Structure 1
């Protein structure tokens, strides 16, 4: 009997290893009415309880009458075709930014219950993925979401040194594996970095068409000096530089992307990105982290989305993190890419002007947002011309 039980246990583990993708494990898929998930993490004094106490509960954002669907919160499926899918990473270092980003999406969404978040958490994060899951649940009780544990050994041997240590975090490369991590029924997803703020209806971004055979859509910046994203050794190699011979490449920021996961999987784009990362390990062809492989594969073949959907660079450059103002024109999404993060600068009393736009979305409890309450209803329309006001 003991031998039989041992055999059964081994068979079960082997079966699970076959059906779970090698890149991640999903641990939560839909909201429940109770905060305690039955795993003991919500007991007073536990690590999760301590983590929950740092964030206030967000308002309960609900669908309006104009929304086509009103979900049963206990039965929602990530395969529902009416959902807007958003993928974000989730870790202890950027948790405060992630919470503010989710809050901003829900606040401005026309149909917030139709938004489904896919959170990718690091396998060895100081806060366990289970704790992070419970924290999201306690902060956003009505949120539809799923947390996936990203196996860092998937990519750790492909990562090369960068100009900033933070860019070497394996979780930065999770976006490369969304086609494998998310279920096959998820055919399209919006990827967002944790340091963004959405001040417009996310459904507008979701409804943008990817024409032709394009796999991703993102704001392009063709005035940027594209050559600086690769080393002189890359450009002097006639074979390597030929990758751009048949297209006109423009810089785009990978922190905001609309991705067709069906085309991504069919074209095996994860492997194409990995091939460039493997080459980078052998001979240095770029200095940044996860961005250049995306440029090598997609630059020149991106669906150009309006710049309002990624007002990036607000974190300053990758060394000093200096203050920057908005680009001219309307704003739907603010992005603190670069070294400086708004929550860090606010804590250190060295906030940049635009950091105060981020602050009302911050649900971290000890922040005193009353001083900036006038910013809480900022929308895309009111941000037009805001850069000249702040500069």
Structure 2
């Protein structure tokens, strides 16, 4: 085990919770049951503030942090762990508002959130799958083709206009730092901020048909240096997004994809086509991604070099599934302390 991993394990061990694997409920039956999270309260230094979806469209309160996540039966256990991790490490947890997006079973999902996090400020929105019906092209992994995977494209339409900035988080990550540090980054003139990875081979994210088309390959990225970024962690200026009509720009590439088949990775490539080379770079510590392995086999991976503020199990392998199968990867032990899944008698808080 690397020294960095060892230090992280020791750090997370102070939670005092030992989790043993058990099989959660199926997506077609009852939703999983979760233990109630402790109440996380603001310190004296935190400004007292409230937020309502009915606020004036021009108002903006920088003391309130808005986070968007999707909720569905398949990834619910990951979403709950992600929320728990954010609250546990936040300096002002009561100033965080979560915006959850779901396509179905909203009443049940609302009950799960309310009973697991009784003190949480949150709103639950319905995402109409008909919005993307006919626009989604099949990819190399079925999970990437689900309509909810495309909800991040429509955040500016789903959320109230009073929400001017949002952090978008995938449902397979945990935060081990104060999320306010990510919230307060300066986007400058950019619409979107995310960790960039300019060493990645950008050509791999598109098909030969894309690169053989001179209009796509030559004209599109003229004047900008495109770098890969992972769309599971993004800070978005929704005001600039709405003004620039970026949802329409992303949808246009989805229509082109249906006709020309220029990529194979779900909702990621449209973001690269629209934003790559025009992103405010964020420290890599805020997305230690790829911990779920690749999209086909999901083999174990180690941490990237450098400090860690967020661990992201992007890829095929998910920590809760590997823990349940009793075949976990070493890094899955870092996710386990945030798993609130009710394991009946198979857990101990001692």
Structure 2 residue aligned with 1:294? 271
- Map residues 67-216 of structure 1 onto 2, 5 A cutoff: 67-69=46-48, 76-78=51-53, 79=55, 81=61, 82-123=63-104, 128-212=105-189, 214-216=190-192
Q: Who wins on radius of gyration, i.e. which is larger?
A: 1
- CA drift of 1:370 comes to 4.7
Count of residue pairs brought into register by the alignment: 313
C-alpha distance in 1 between matches for 2:149 and 2:178: 26
- Which structure's relative contact order is higher, taking Cα pairs within 8 Å and 6+ residues apart? 2
**CA deviations over 1:95-152 (Å, ceiling 9, x no partner):** 00000000000000000000000000014xxxx1111011100000000000001000
Q: Label 1:332 to 1:136 Cα distance change in 2 as closer, same or farther (>3 A).
A: same
C-alpha distance in 1 between matches for 2:318 and 2:159: 28
Q: Is 1:362 aligned to 2:339, yes or no?
A: yes
Aligned residues: CA RMSD = 1.4
C-alpha distance in 1 between matches for 2:257 and 2:321: 32
- Map residues 1-391 of structure 1 onto 2, 5 A cutoff: 51=31, 54-69=33-48, 76-78=51-53, 79=55, 81=61, 82-123=63-104, 128-212=105-189, 214-241=190-217, 242-366=219-343, 368=346, 370=348
- Answer with 239-248 or 103-112: which moved more: 239-248
Question: What secondary structure sits across from 1:56 in the alignment?
Answer: coil
- CA drift of 1:156 comes to 1.8
Extract structure 1 runs of 4+ deviating beyond 6 A.
Answer: none
Structure 2 residue aligned with 1:8? none
Structure 2, unmatched stretches of 5+, are 1-29
CA contact (8 A) 1:216 1:302 kept: yes
C-alpha distance in 1 between matches for 2:293 and 2:231: 16
CA contact (8 A) 2:156 2:242 kept: yes
**CA deviations over 1:249-292 (Å, ceiling 9, x no partner):** 00000000000000000000000000000000011000110000
**CA deviations over 1:284-326 (Å, ceiling 9, x no partner):** 0001100000000000000000000000000000010000010
C-alpha distance in 2 between matches for 1:219 and 1:366: 35
CA contact (8 A) 1:359 1:369 kept: no
Q: Label 1:143 to 1:245 Cα distance change in 2 as closer, same or farther (>3 A).
A: same
> Given the two structures, how large is their TM-score scaled by the length of structure 1?
0.78
CA contact (8 A) 2:49 2:64 kept: no
C-alpha distance in 1 between matches for 2:299 and 2:283: 25
Q: Label 1:253 to 1:370 Cα distance change in 2 as closer, same or farther (>3 A).
A: same
> Given the two structures, how large is their TM-score scaled by the length of structure 2?
0.87
